[in-house]
Every structure is written in C-alpha cells, then in structure tokens.
Amino acid sequence: MSAGGPFAGLSIEAARRALAAKFKASGIESPELDARLLIGAALGRDHTGLATQASRLITSVEETVISAFVRRRIAHEPVARILGHKEFWGLDLRLSDATLVPRPDTETVVAAALEILRNELRATRALRIADIGTGSGAILLALLSELPDATGIGTDISMAALAIAEMNADKLGLAGRASFVQCDYAAALSGPFDLIVSNPPYIRSADIATLDRDVRDHDPLLALDGGVDGLDAYRAITPQAVALLAPGGGLVFEVGHDQSTQVSVLMRSAGLTLSSPPKADLGGIYRAVMGRKAAI
C-alpha cells in the first residue's frame, strides 16, 4: 500500500526536518519545536522516543495523522490546541475551543497569589479561593496543587469551559477541593473568600484584529475582549470581589502589558490596599496586580 502524502516513505528524522522547513517557510515562530512536538504526538513518542527511532520509516497511518496536524498548524492553530493539552505550573491541562491556552505569563498570577498568602495573610482556617473566569481551571488548580488544605471555586460564563475545568480537576486529583459554577464573573458566589484571582478578558476591542493569528483565530473571543478600553472586566469584578473577600483577604488580577497602573487605581478606589508592587512576568512586564481588603 502506498502512502501518498508529503511525509510518506521518509524516516522519522527526515520527516521532522521536512516539517520544520515547511513551518519555517510558512512563517511559524518556532518551527523546529513545533515539528518535533507534532510528530511526537502523531507517533505517540516523546523527544527521546523520536531520537531512538530516528531512522524508522513513517507508516501510512502516521503520515495521515501528521498531515492533518500540519494543515492545522499551517492555518496558525497553536500546537497546544492541536495536541489538546498544555502544561501550566507543572500541571498537564486539557483544553478545548472554549478555553484560552494557558500562558506562561499567567504563572505570574499564581506566584503572586502564593506570595501574598505566605507574606500577608494570617489564615486561621483552611483557605477559600475563588477564580473568576477560570477557563481550563489553570490558576485555581495550580493554587490548589500548592495549598493542600485549601478549597476553591471557579466561575465561567461558558459551560463548555467549565466542563474542561472539571475534567482537569478530576484528572489532577483535585476534584474533592474544587467546584465550578456558571455565572457572570462572581455573580453566583457567596463569600467570604481569603483569595480571589482572575485572568479576565482584557484586550481592547479595537486591538483584537491586530493580535497574532494564533490568538485571534483560535482563542475564544469571550476570553479576550475587554471592551473599548480593555478594562470592563476589572470594573465589574473589583466591587464584587471587595464584597466577597474576608477581612484581610487578597485580590490578584492578571493585567495587559499597559494596564497595571489603571487597574491599581481601580482597585484602590474600590477600597483595597496595594501593599505590594505589581509583579512582573518573565518578559519584565507588570502582569499581576495585588490588593488586600482591610483586616478588622
């Protein structure tokens, strides 16, 4: 039987190189890595597995799977979406069309939240956490994985996203401490919470068209569009969070690259104290803004 596609009859190594060259010619940002990840996924092998079988020929079934992956990547679908999962804070998270691909930048929010818990909150009972707009559950599940006594609730407007978050909680063995509810921001929650975290939609509506194709054409618009000035979600969530926080509790927001000052002002005028400066991501951008409600 002959396999007709462009990778048929090639060795694994030759297919990987041909694919990297094709991605490069198509303007894909990390052609080598993407080629390796997609061929590895098509063949069910990790990096080492591919290396040890480098000279084996690609089968026709493998060729079909690889070709389908290639078509999707050339259309700028992110590798994480093609694979259906992404690593975040060392956790393997399932994704779907309804969820944002978790970004490394968002790990800054997890780190910031853990810092305020460690340095500022003197909890006398198991912590209660809320994650507003939880998507795949990334931030909440990362925090629960670090805080063995804590419980948390994630909200999302999208039922489809919540189904993925629940699946992730289950797969990570965190389902007993995580629950999920569909609502607008924090509308269905009742406090008190010790910590509220959120990576809300924050892109200005007019800027959506200018985003990378990988983001614009594949991340859910609901998770990106923050209204005319990008700050709609912060204006909605901040007063809700202030009402839901326990005395001394903390609110941590992810913000866009130029929003930390505006979001800080918003939080301060809602009565929160900003005792720590915003926390920068690995690119040096202020990414997480943290505020606390006064302790009694």
Contacts of 48 (CB under 8 A, 6+ apart): none
Residue with tokens 């005319």, as numbered in its chain: 228
Residue 23 or 202: the one with the smaller Cβ distance to ligand GLN is 202
Asked whether position 203 contacts ligand GLN by CB under 6 A, the answer is yes
Paired with 91 in beta bridges are: 88
Residue 215 or 274: the one with the smaller Cβ distance to ligand GLN is 215
- DSSP code for 56: S
CB of 198 to ligand GLN, least distance (A): 9
Q: Please report, as a single letter, which amino acid is at residue 232.
A: D
Asked whether position 197 contacts ligand GLN by CB under 6 A, the answer is no
Residue 200 or 291: the one with the smaller Cβ distance to ligand GLN is 200
Question: In what side-by-side order are the strands of the sheet with 151-156?
Answer: 178-182, 151-156, 128-132, 193-198, 245-254, 286-292, 279-280
Contact 134, 254 (CB under 8 A): no
Residue 133 or 249: the one with the smaller Cβ distance to ligand GLN is 133
Asked whether position 201 contacts ligand GLN by CB under 6 A, the answer is yes
CB of 1 to ligand GLN, least distance (A): 44
CB of 213 to ligand GLN, least distance (A): 12
Contact 166, 232 (CB under 8 A): no
- Which residues in 211-270 contact ligand GLN (CB under 6 A)? 211, 215, 224
CB of 186 to ligand GLN, least distance (A): 16
Residue of 81, 94, 103, 292 interacting with ligand GLN (CB under 6 A): 103
What distance, in Å, lies between the first and last C-alpha atoms of the chain?
76
Region binding ligand GLN by CB under 6 A among candidate stretches 3-11, 82-90, 155-163, 195-203: 195-203
Region binding ligand GLN by CB under 6 A among candidate stretches 53-61, 114-122, 194-202, 272-280: 194-202
Q: Please report, as a single letter, which amino acid is at residue 41.
A: A
Phi, psi of 200 (to 5 degrees): -85, 170
Region binding ligand GLN by CB under 6 A among candidate stretches 46-54, 83-91, 117-125, 196-204: 196-204
CB of 223 to ligand GLN, least distance (A): 6
- Which residues in 109-168 contact ligand GLN (CB under 6 A)? none
- Say how many C-beta atoms besides its own lie within 10 A of residue 64's C-beta: 16
DSSP 177-233: TEEEEESSTTTT--S-EEEEEE----B-GGGGGGS-HHHHTTS-GGGTB--TTS-HH
Closest CA to 88 of 151, 171, 212: 171
Residue 42 or 199: the one with the smaller Cβ distance to ligand GLN is 199
Say how many residues touch ligand GLN, by CB under 6 A.
Answer: 10
Which pair of structure tokens corresponds to residue 278?
């915003």
Residue 199 or 276: the one with the smaller Cβ distance to ligand GLN is 199
Residue of 134, 199, 240, 260 interacting with ligand GLN (CB under 6 A): 199
Residue of 23, 69, 180, 202 interacting with ligand GLN (CB under 6 A): 202
In the complex, which residues of this chain contact ligand GLN (CB under 6 A)?
100, 103, 199-203, 211, 215, 224
